[in-house]
């Protein structure tokens, strides 16, 4: 079947899935001691519960029906995205557990597994799954798989490997996504003028749907933000939100406003958003800084969610960025923030991860930690004026 390129997941959306930290479901299972013991309570979800039960029942009877398994997995992954709750990603993974042999796993199932692995921050295993898929002979072009691989490598701070995958996106026939992919990597390396020209040129084509225009404009906003051009960044964020007010851009703009010491405006931008963990974190930070009446309740709820997440042994590593941000901006505990940020950077190295690490290192008053951040940034080749100002 021919891949329809308009269904490609945009680069920024893939970054969003990877950048929103989530506690992976790899902890030891909790064994109930009685029949009525409640292990966990999943949040309420939208949609038809009857339809959910029907699909799960069918899958139980036909665990090797790939189309059915993928339909169930996609529904759960959509819920994980909407709520920022990795437990739904665990349920999605369970839906495709009927296939254990990579050699015989259907292409779409293998792609779904890689997507879930990246969502759960299992980056190396996601890369391995994608490499198995991409090595299969005689298959159709796989621009989505190459784009996913490029994004995972970027999140790991491996820009040269990401470039190589971006070029394969072009060879697979998705030129716009390939050009944006390479421009993003160029911008991260500090080649801002070249990257800006690419994004501007793609935007000037004028034949892309609003969602694609919004994605490109958000990428341009982030480029300007890292370059220290606040006015240009804000104009681009506002344009992107007019085109398509998606959750990723909304969060990115809220972070920008918090960074610019405009927390009351950040609260206004976040108004009406689903209270996922990333949204609640920004509400707690902006509310605290603005001394909003809603801040105590938001802080208490976020603290409770952190405590619940930390019942899973690996949560402090895989939820490290968000917990570091909370420790630094709400609890004013830079030493704790530094510990969390260091663990986070061991796993993923987006610009925001290094920024939080640098902020914590500077606030903790530990010169060795500041040097550690500088070494990592230099080795990666990352150029971000916000980080440079702290080193």
CATH superfamily of 9-23+49-184: Tetratricopeptide repeat domain (1.25.40.10)
Alpha carbon distances (Å) from 62 to 67, 89, 359 = 10, 20, 51
pLDDT band at 84; cut points 50, 70, 90? confident
Check residue 40 and give its pLDDT. Answer: 40
User: What is the Cα–Cα distance from 225 to 26, expressed in whole angstroms?
Assistant: 35
User: What is the Cα–Cα distance from 363 to 373, expressed in whole angstroms?
Assistant: 13
Check residue 83 and give its pLDDT. Answer: 76
Check residue 199 and give its pLDDT. Answer: 97
Average pLDDT (29-55) is 49
CB 12 within 8 A of CB 218: yes
Q: Which two tokens stand for residue 310?
A: 């930390």
Same CATH fold assignment for domains 9-23+49-184 and 190-245: yes
Check residue 373 and give its pLDDT. Answer: 98
Assigned CATH class of 190-245: mainly alpha
User: What is the Cα–Cα distance from 182 to 134, expressed in whole angstroms?
Assistant: 20
User: What is the Cα–Cα distance from 320 to 21, expressed in whole angstroms?
Assistant: 7
Query: Mean pLDDT lowest for which of 59-63, 139-143, 290-294?
Result: 59-63
Query: Looking up tokens 């991260």, which residue turns up?
Result: 188
pLDDT (tens digit per residue) in 279-334: 999 999 999 999 999 999 999 999 999 998 888 766 666 689 999 999 999 999 99
User: What is the Cα–Cα distance from 88 to 75, expressed in whole angstroms?
Assistant: 9
What does the domain layout of the chain look like in residue ranges? 9-23+49-184, 190-245, 310-391
CB 107 within 8 A of CB 134: no
With 90 as the cut, is the pLDDT of residue 375 above it? yes
């Amino acid at each position: 079947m021919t891949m329809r390129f308009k269904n490609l997941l945009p680069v920024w959306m893939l970054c969003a899935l990877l950048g929103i930290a989530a506690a992976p479901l790899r902890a030891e299972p909790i064994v109930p001691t009685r029949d009525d013991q409640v292990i966990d309570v999943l949040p309420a979800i939208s949609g038809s519960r009857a339809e959910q039960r029907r699909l799960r029942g069918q899958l139980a009877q036909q665990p090797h029906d790939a189309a059915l398994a993928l339909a169930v997995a996609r529904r759960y992954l959509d819920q994980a995205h909407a709520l920022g709750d990795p437990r739904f990603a665990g349920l999605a993974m369970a839906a495709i557990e009927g296939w254990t042999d990579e050699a015989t796993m259907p292409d779409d199932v293998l792609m779904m597994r890689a997507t879930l692995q990246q969502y759960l921050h299992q980056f190396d295993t996601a890369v391995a799954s994608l490499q198995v898929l991409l090595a299969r002979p005689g298959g159709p072009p796989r621009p989505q798989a190459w784009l996913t691989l490029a994004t995972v490598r970027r999140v790991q701070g491996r820009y040269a490997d990401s470039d190589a995958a971006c070029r394969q996106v072009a060879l697979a026939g998705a030129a716009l996504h390939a050009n944006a992919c390479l421009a993003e990597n160029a911008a991260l390396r500090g080649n801002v003028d070249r990257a800006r020209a690419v994004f501007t040129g793609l935007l000037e084509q004028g034949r892309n749907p609003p969602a694609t225009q919004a994605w490109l404009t958000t990428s341009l906003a982030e480029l300007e933000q890292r370059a220290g051009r606040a006015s240009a960044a804000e104009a681009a964020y506002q344009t992107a939100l007019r085109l398509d007010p998606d959750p990723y851009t909304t969060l990115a703009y809220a972070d920008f406003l918090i960074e610019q010491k405009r927390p009351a405006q950040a609260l206004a931008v976040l108004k009406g958003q689903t209270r996922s963990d990333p949204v609640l974190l920004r509400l707690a930070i902006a509310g605290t800084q603005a001394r909003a009446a809603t801040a105590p309740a938001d802080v208490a709820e976020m603290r409770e969610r952190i405590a619940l997440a930390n019942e899973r042994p690996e949560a402090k590593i895989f939820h490290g960025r968000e917990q570091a941000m909370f420790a630094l901006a709400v609890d004013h505990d830079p030493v704790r923030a530094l510990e969390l940020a260091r663990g986070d950077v061991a796993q993923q190295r987006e610009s925001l991860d290094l920024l939080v690490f640098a902020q914590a290192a500077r606030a903790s008053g530990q010169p060795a930690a500041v040097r550690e951040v500088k070494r990592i940034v230099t080795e990666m080749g990352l150029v971000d004026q916000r980080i440079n100002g702290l080193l």
